[in-house]
Amino acid sequence: MSSFKNIFSVDLEEWFVVEILSKRYTKKEWEKLKSTVVDDSLILLELLKRHNVKATWFVLGWVAEKYPELIQEISYAGHEIACHSFYHRRVDTLTIDEFKKDTDMAINSIIKSIGNAPFGYRAPSWSINNLNSWAFEALSDLGFLYDSSVFPIKHDIYGWADGPRRDFKMQFENGKKLIELPATTYSLFGKNVPVAGGGYFRHSPFWYSKMVIRALNKSKQPAIFYIHPWEVNPNLPRVEGLSKLQSFRLYSSSELLTHKVEKLLQEFTFTTISDYLGLFKQNKIGFR
């Protein structure tokens, strides 16, 4: 196993909040849909326990409010609890006031669950980019120390094609700071290729992910792996009327994912974002 530390993160959300279903179900209808988030999350939690890996869980506020015992169990197991918004609305569809209101609701739901405010944030659908960069300062104002919402690729739903590929610090006029940890990409023939998480990991052969992560680590860059609990569930409720692409994105390769994650945890070393940034060294919160 490689000793170089990578980052393991979980976007803790229900299957029905994904972007391709955002116009399918209203918030009121969420309550009537079959929930899988508790069972799916417990599968991931047990998998991480077997390999003694601590992860950063970006928790949807709506889930924290509905299932506080789940968030408590994850926190008590030594994992980091971070924020993934309240209603999973894309940041690039919100005004700054709407964004702050949604995020504040999420923060409060997490505090009610575990007694502590989160230090990190990840936007739904990687929806912070150069066109809504005001969100970075807003996150700093809300008390966050880091963000992981930028995906430097070209995609039909999200992405900042020429965005930064490595972590960087921002300092604002009010003196506050924020560090950004972009989703992991690999530069191939002058283009950023996504790797190490979500559908990209689920649909690609394991040897490819292994090769790229090793190459990144060789250049002293950690892979920021991410996964959604619903991705390990091969029996998700079936939604009628989806296109072939949408069905592929939601359902394909789930039956293989747990085994692939197991292999990943055997090959590489992982930690939380807070540990990687050294936020709590010598009992002081600060950046590396």
- 50: domain CATH number is 3.20.20.370
pLDDT score for 123: 97
| pLDDT single digits (tens) 118-133 | 999 999 999 999 999 9
Whether 288 is covered by a domain: the verdict is: no
State phi, psi for 258 to the nearest 5 degrees. -60, -45
Domain count for the chain: 1
Whether 154 is covered by a domain: the verdict is: yes
CA 192 to chain centre: 19
Burial class of residue 111 in the structure, from the number of CB atoms within 10 Å of its CB (0-12 exposed, 13-18 middle, 19+ buried): middle
Whether 76 is covered by a domain: the verdict is: yes
pLDDT score for 159: 67
Cα gap 214→3, rounded to integer Å: 11
| Domain coverage including residue 201 | 5-283
- Counting as low any pLDDT under 50, the low residues of the chain are 282-288
Whether 214 is covered by a domain: the verdict is: yes
